[in-house]
Amino acid sequence: MTSLTLHYDAQCGLCSSMRNWIQSQRHALPLHFLPKPPEERNLTVIADTGEVWQGDSAWLMVLWALEDYRSWSYRLSSPALLPMARQAFATLSRSRTQLSSWLGLKADADLVYKLQQVELPSCSLR
């Protein structure tokens, strides 16, 4: 495995913010981001080898791909912590729209739309 592709919800403010955060981290291998197809309900990670992870397994793969968080992927996937990690990831995924609203997080598409609506004052250069 030499790279991962993450299918994320580009219409979700929390998901777009998480993508930006993931991009800012040190990666153990290249990560590519694509908006998820409508039929995908959760985060999906696809390896260049064809392996696919969804939901909580996908979250763990994202952590595994980040140099500073790889140890957390192993820790959270341990038998003692995996049930709680699954519950946390499921709650986060299920509540992402409400969390985006509460935290004021906007999807990139929403920000582009709002910026296009702003009228800038004309200025002349002399």
Comparing CA positions, the residue from 11, 8, 7, 5 lying closest to residue 108 is 11
Tokens linked to 50:
């064809």
pLDDT of 122 reads 67
Q: Establish if 111 belongs to a structural domain.
A: yes
pLDDT single digits (tens) 43-88: 999 999 999 999 899 999 999 999 999 999 999 999 999 999 999 9
Q: Establish if 38 belongs to a structural domain.
A: yes
Tokens linked to 93:
């995924």
Task: Residue 21: give the domain boundaries.
Answer: 4-117
Count: domains in the chain: 1
Rounded to whole angstroms, the Cα distance separating 20 from 31 reads 12
Mean pLDDT of the chain: 90
The half-sphere exposure of 6 on its side-chain side, counting CA atoms within 13 A, is 27
pLDDT of 19 reads 95
Q: Establish if 124 belongs to a structural domain.
A: no
Q: pTM of whole model > 0.85?
A: no
- 86: Cβ–Cβ under 8 A, 6 or more apart, which residues? 56
Q: Establish if 123 belongs to a structural domain.
A: no
pLDDT of 108 reads 77
